[in-house]
């Protein structure tokens, strides 16, 4: 059962962007809808995410489930797998016996059922004589285990007499944590794990030897899991089963092609490590390789062009979900040429086994023999660098003694490209074009003429020639270039504007009747030209030209813009990280400074008529308030002294004032005047004016 994206949007009631995100890693296949020319993606129900399957069940779309038996009710764990074959057989027999007993005719008693059914069934001979008590005990255990949702077979595994070698001093919690550490890293360092676990479990953590012994036993008991934790690729090569041959689906040449790309294991003389793109015809194993600067949609299009010119047009292309293969550009090319796209899930090299194997053959058969070979992996690269570096040291000593200027310059050039190229003899390495020529020569004279085991001892060229039916191809190479270009819809402006695209202005006098209208343009790699078509009839109009850009590569410009955008992102990220960094501020720096030399000031009271009057009145005011406070019987329960007792206040709830200014300010703020305040105001107008200014400034603030 398959669904299109439009059908899924309607059934699941989700938006198109949400569906696109949810199906990002879901395999799909392009198929034509009835009455339509354009192919659309189709998704199988069993491949959809579980949350989508559950939603589709509400609409009646449900996966057909196989009839469950006792063996499918739970996943087997270490308890079952480590049991002896006899104990496994007994456990399965008990489980089956109980299931048969629960389906019996209810009119038959337990004893009668044992006599008439169980004892006569040879499947239960391994159980010996079964009493009714045993039957009922097993029935109870079965029901309790099922209610808990646990494994029904493992509940009957006899754990007695287990191998004592499997025992460990680690508790179950410690074992679980240790296993998690074993799985987190490809090369567990037991001493580090023991140190971390000691800090967590304290004195209850057993010794290092106990943990190390547990690791060795676990690794031996779980070879696949330990291998997978170390390297999924190593597990795939060693343990993954092969169910039939993928080549059986390819019945003839150009039936199926596989595409892929990989970095070359060779550094060229410009210090760059280029990308090798490849395609293989599965039925004949013929291959084509291209050396490119990077894996882009332009590069993939050029590879497809080479394939079509040399092999013909394929029916189906197998690709992964890389953006260069699933781009609108590449999908449009395949749609225009009637090529079906088969997209494999991410990280599924086994779905493209033939091109993967061809890359391996190229690396072992050719790259290892070339100057600039850097190894197939990190370990080999380090070995090569160590060997070459030692040779350079001997050479350097000899050059130092000889004092030969030209030799010193030659030696210095070996180190001038990149740090990662240390030890590589770049002065003998190939250029990019020379590497491409070497690959072409190796494919033509060696690979295509070599007998392949998968071809039953025949060569790729012999198998290719054995098919007599003609291949489909493109008659005009220029038409192929147009098909491989990108198409855009543009508006035509006046002659001084023309067609604007990617910073260029294209014009031809044939565009005059189309000014103000929409046209369709096809781009080639030459930035100086575009092919223009009528947007409605798709009839060719002209080749419009931007004379300033003729001869410039569109891909080179695209790569330059991409690098500049990357540089902008890096700069923007650097600024953002700098802004987010918790660096010390100026206030932090000032607070960290010592107080330094302190000011030494001796204060003396300045006596004037006003200050003397204020001092005299303040002391008088304090004495008067003190007398009133003693006579007062009011308390402020909100403000308490250090002993927790409420403080005594003046009548009316006024506080005691130290100065006349404080009294006037308080009266003004609380608008609480009495006769005494009025007399003080008339007697001390200057002090009142000062208090009024203070009150007014506080109110404004």
CA-to-CA distance for 333 and 316, rounded, in angstroms? 13
CA-to-CA distance for 548 and 551, rounded, in angstroms? 9
> Tokens for 278?
């490849």
Sign of CA dihedral 146, 149, 150, 151: positive
Residues of the chain above pLDDT 70, percent: 71
Token pair 């209208």 is at which residue? 517
Residue 480 has what pLDDT?
A: 66
What confidence tier does 282 reach under pLDDT thresholds 50, 70, 90? very high
Residue 293, pLDDT > 80, answer: yes
Residue 524, pLDDT > 80, answer: no
**Three-state secondary-structure class, residue 277:** strand
What confidence tier does 87 reach under pLDDT thresholds 50, 70, 90? confident
Query: Can you tell me the mean pLDDT for 603-615?
Result: 54
What confidence tier does 459 reach under pLDDT thresholds 50, 70, 90? very high
CA-to-CA distance for 568 and 566, rounded, in angstroms? 5
> Tokens for 296?
């882009």
Between residues 621 and 96, the one the model is more confident about: 96
DSSP 340: E
CA-to-CA distance for 439 and 291, rounded, in angstroms? 9
CA-to-CA distance for 652 and 632, rounded, in angstroms? 9
Residue 617 has what pLDDT?
A: 55
Between residues 196 and 124, the one the model is more confident about: 196
Residue 441, pLDDT > 90, answer: yes
If you average pLDDT over every residue of the chain, what do you get?
Answer: 76
Residue 108, pLDDT > 70, answer: yes
Residue 70 has what pLDDT?
A: 40
Residue 59, pLDDT > 70, answer: yes
∠ CA 556-562-564, nearest 5°, is 105
327-351 per-position pLDDT tens digit: 766 777 777 778 888 888 766 666 7
Instruction: Return the CA Rg of the chain.
Output: 44
Residue 388 has what pLDDT?
A: 46
361-405 per-position pLDDT tens digit: 898 888 888 877 876 554 555 544 444 444 444 444 454 445 444
Is domain 246-374+424-466 given the CATH code 2.60.120.10 in the classification? no
DSSP 116: I
């Amino acid at each position: 059962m398959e669904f299109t994206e439009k059908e899924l949007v309607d059934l699941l009631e989700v938006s198109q962007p949400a569906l696109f995100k949810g199906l990002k890693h879901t395999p799909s296949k392009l198929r034509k809808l009835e009455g339509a020319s354009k192919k659309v993606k189709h998704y199988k129900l069993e491949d959809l995410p579980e949350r989508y399957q559950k939603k589709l069940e509400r609409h009646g779309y449900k996966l057909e489930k196989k009839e469950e038996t006792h063996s499918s009710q739970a996943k087997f764990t270490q308890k079952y797998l480590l049991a002896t074959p006899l104990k496994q057989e007994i456990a399965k027999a008990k489980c089956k016996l109980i299931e048969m007993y629960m389906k019996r005719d209810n009119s038959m008693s337990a004893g009668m059922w044992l006599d008439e059914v169980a004892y006569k069934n040879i499947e239960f001979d391994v159980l010996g004589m079964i009493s009714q008590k045993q039957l009922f005990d097993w029935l109870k255990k079965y029901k309790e285990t099922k209610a808990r949702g646990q494994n029904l077979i493992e509940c009957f595994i006899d754990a007695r007499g287990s191998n004592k070698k499997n025992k460990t001093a680690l508790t179950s919690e410690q074992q679980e944590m240790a296993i998690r550490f074993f799985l987190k890293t490809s090369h567990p360092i037991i001493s580090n794990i023991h140190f971390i676990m000691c800090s967590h479990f304290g004195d209850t953590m057993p010794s290092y030897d106990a943990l190390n012994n547990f690791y060795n036993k676990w690794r031996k008991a779980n070879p696949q899991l330990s291998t997978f934790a170390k390297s999924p690729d190593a597990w795939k090569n060693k343990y993954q089963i092969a169910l039939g041959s993928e080549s059986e689906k390819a019945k003839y040449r150009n039936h199926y092609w596989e595409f892929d790309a990989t970095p070359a294991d060779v550094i060229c003389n410009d210090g760059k490590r280029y990308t090798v793109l490849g395609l293989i015809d599965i039925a004949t194993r013929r291959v084509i390789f291209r050396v490119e600067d990077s894996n882009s949609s332009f590069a993939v299009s050029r590879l497809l062009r080479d394939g079509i010119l040399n092999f013909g047009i394929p029916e189906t292309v197998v690709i992964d979900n890389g953006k260069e293969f699933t781009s609108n550009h590449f999908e449009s090319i395949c749609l225009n040429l009637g090529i079906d796209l088969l997209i494999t899930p991410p990280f599924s090299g086994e779905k493209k086994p033939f091109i993967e194997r061809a890359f391996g053959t190229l690396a072992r058969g050719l790259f290892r023999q070339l100057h600039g070979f850097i190894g197939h992996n990190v370990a080999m690269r380090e070995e090569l660098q160590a060997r070459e570096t030692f040779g350079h040291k001997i050479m350097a000593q000899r050059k130092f003694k000889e004092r030969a200027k030209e030799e010193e310059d030659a030696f210095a050039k070996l180190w001038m490209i990149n740090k990662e190229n240390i030890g590589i003899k770049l002065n003998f390495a190939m250029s990019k074009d020379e590497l491409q020529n070497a690959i072409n020569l190796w494919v033509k004279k060696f690979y295509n003429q070599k007998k392949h085991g998968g071809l039953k001892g025949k060569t790729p060229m012999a198998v290719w020639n054995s098919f007599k039916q003609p291949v489909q191809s493109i008659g005009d190479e220029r038409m192929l270039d147009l098909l491989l270009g990108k198409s855009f819809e543009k508006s035509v402006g006046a002659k001084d504007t023309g067609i604007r695209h990617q910073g260029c202005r294209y014009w031809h006098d044939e565009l005059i009747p189309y000014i103000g209208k929409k046209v369709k343009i096809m781009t080639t790699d030459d930035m100086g030209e575009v092919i223009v078509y009528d947007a409605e009839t798709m009839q060719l109009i002209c080749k419009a030209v931007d004379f300033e850009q003729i001869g410039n590569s569109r891909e080179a410009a695209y790569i330059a813009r991409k690098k500049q955008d990357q540089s902008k992102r890096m700069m923007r990220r650097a600024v953002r990280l700098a802004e987010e960094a918790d660096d010390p501020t100026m206030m932090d720096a000032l607070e960290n400074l010592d107080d330094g030399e302190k000011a030494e000031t001796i204060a003396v009271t300045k006596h004037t008529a006003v200050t003397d009057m204020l001092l005299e009145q303040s002391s008088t005011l304090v004495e008067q308030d003190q007398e009133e406070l003693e006579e007062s019987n009011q308390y402020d329960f909100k403000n308490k002294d250090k002993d927790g007792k409420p403080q005594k206040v003046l009548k009316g709830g006024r506080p005691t004032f130290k100065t006349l200014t404080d009294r006037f300010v308080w009266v003004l703020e609380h608008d609480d005047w009495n006769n005494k305040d009025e007399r003080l105001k008339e007697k001390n107008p200057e002090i009142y004016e000062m208090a009024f200014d203070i009150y007014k400034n506080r109110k404004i603030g």
